[in-house]
Structure 1
Amino acid sequence: MNAVRQVPALLVSAPASGQGKTSFTAALARAHARRGRRVRVFKTGPDFLDPMVLERASGAPVYQLDLWMCGEADVRARLYAAASEADLILVEGVMGLFDGGTSSADLSQRFGLPVLAVIDGSAMAQTFGAVATGLARYREGLQVHGVAANRIGGAYHAKLLAGSLPPELHWFGALPRDPALALPERHLGLVAAGELADLDARLDALADAMELHAGLDLPPPVAFSAVEAMQVPRLLEGRRIAIARDDAFCFLYPANLDVLRQAGAELCWFSPLAGDALPGCDAAWLPGGYPELHLARLAERKDLHAALRAHVDAGKPLLAECGGMLSLLDALATRESDAHTMAGLLPGWAVVRERLAGLGMQSVELPEGTLRGHTFHYAHAEITQPPLVHASNPDGGPAKEAVYRRARLTASFVHLYFPSATEAALRLFLP
């Protein structure tokens, strides 16, 4: 095994959320992939929706990179593995360049990733250069490869923006303001890739615009050092895990699925929305997603509700995360809809509102071990069962989610990252 691998790499960041990071990253990924280059894309921080789009753009699974949730060794191993098979590595940042306890800038400097700063130029001219200069000079040692503009009005607007940059900042190019290039959004972020029938057309339009207005020169190569891959104990050998997957239950980290497979588990999928029965299994997992958008259909699934109750009553493990937990309450409603009956495995109800109810990294000390993850939801829940434990927030934020347990059911708003403590995660699926 070579100790160091070099491959062109770029971290796409911005001064804030909503500037166009995902659009630029997707445009670059699709455009380079169309030229026959092997592109591997990562997403900084905990996110499910952006990676779905970026996977379609690049043609390969998109993994998370976060120095706290994943840990430096996990991040280093994934980058090194990608460097062995990629012609280009792209990393989409999270929020603004310097935001968060472990920011995109921290990731850039820790691993030598040059930054492409994407700035929404729709409502500015020469001030664009001031914002770009501030990003580039705010922290000593940060390597800014170039600056790009999003949502520009035309060629003259692009000329004004480019001309405002100091000589040492490279003008990368711009994407125009065009509804055909927009990626639709809702309350948790982008609309899930599987719901967009025209997603490939949008990605191709983004790639066309990238080739026309920005170009596809490869960024400088980055050296990635070898690190020993994580060893996963074979605790789930011969065990079958049923996992819900459809538009209501779609928030799944590829790394979590890898851990289960490496532990020897057989994964079987089922769709509650399609009417699938709970497969015969040793354990089950209801991941997060959008149950609030499918209340009537989920309420109809009395057969599935009964099967889940029988599963838990038999002492079999069931992990329910965020939307998965909401589907196990007595009732779930939204601001626009009346309450609908859910599975009734946890006593209580919830309503999904317009106001954010939980956001932040989470550390959870369970009897199985301490796991890391995050929370992000708009659901306000009233659960009458006492919690097993409360998570802690490493950034000191107010979100400290409760974790509930009934027999071998574990339910919480927390989305767990299994590689943060593999053996603890695997034990959640054992009797």
Structure 2
Amino acid sequence: MAEKIKNFFKKKKSDAKFKLAGPGHKLTESTTSFDKPTTKNQYTVKPRNNLSEEARRAAEAAEARLQSKQQQDKNFNTSFAAIQAQVKRELEAEKKATSERKSSQSPVLNRAKSSDTEVEISPVLAVNGVYFKCPMVGPEILSKEEWRKKIREFLYAQLEFEQGLTAALMIHNLNKNREKISICVDTLCKYLENIVNNPTEEKYQRIRMSNRVFSEKVLPMEGALNLLLGAGFIEQNLTIDDKEEKYLVFSQDRVENLDTLRALCDALRSAEPIPLELDRNLQVLSPSQAAKRTELPTTFYALTPEEIKREQQLRLDAVEKAMQLRTKVMREKDELREIKKYKFALIRIRFPDGLFLQGTFAVFEKLVNIYEFVRDNLEYEDMPFILSNATGQKLNDEEEMEKTLVDLRLVPASILTFQWDPAVQDELSASPRYLKHEILMLVQAL
């Protein structure tokens, strides 16, 4: 608002200056149309007599005073500029001193901030995070936490249009504990079904809000109260047995018919969390970039950062035990336990031209999903190809296609080598390009 006021007065001042300048005219118009002459040729200039000695001295004195005044103004302006520069230097020095003082007082905090920044933009991270899509809500690609916030906003925005069904989705999407959600859904359905099955029984049309079951199992669940309000309940203070309490009271006037309650029960039981689709976070890397970017962010782990640190310490403590002779079964068991720490896998496909195609996958996705990912980005999508693991084993038979990334030991990160199927190798050997042109444009600058 203050900025608008400033602009308002600025405009008023500008308008006033134009008015003082007199009426305007077009450059193509002749100036002779004005009443007052504007050039010297239109005046009658009378010759002046030579100045007297006294007048000459007065003129010289006036000129001297004018020059003195100009010199004073000049000195003042210079002095003012110097003052401005000095003040600026002092302010900068004070700001620097304050910054250094804060740094010396809280080095741990500063290191933590620096560390957070490194996690976000570290050049050694293979990928900055895990991202998702949600076509039901919007076209954005966001982290899971960002989608939780956006879904919450989306559902609350829909409440005024369809309160009952939206509230059913809220219960399943905005509460985390699945067991508590199930208990809440069963309780709400019982309230509604009691009314449907006993439409004349008043006791089923009232819910005492201080009731233990309601206050502990229903009210704390986000969206539960909204569902009851959408089902025709209203909050009222009632006096029963000489005791005034707050109740939710069903009013059939607030719903079309009892079939609305049946529909809400069905919605409660069939509703599920709004699904998120894992985004591949597609990247194309040069060989030098692939060599540098090797670390995975913490979002790839199924454990919290604290649990990860504890696991690392336990591994260090178990180094001596690892040196002992172990059977193949023992080693495989330990390897599988290690793999289960991850929720996502980073897969890189190395092409003969040296480029890497990189994508993010859930650990229980199948090998066929990797093949589909590669095929979608190839210049010749219909041509058969083969992917091989680090040991050179070809992963292309039907049985392997249905195996998960965990089963194939491709977790948490693996590099697969691309080659055309021998049947089309000669046909495509002259082609210098493997990936689509628009995908090649994604090659990240060094």
Q: Which TM-score bucket, shorter chain as reference? A: under 0.3
Q: Higher helix fraction: Structure 1 or Structure 2?
A: 2
TM-score of the two chains, using structure 2 as the length reference: 0.23
Q: TM-score, normalised by structure 1?
A: 0.23
Higher CA-based Rg: 2
Higher fraction of strand: 1
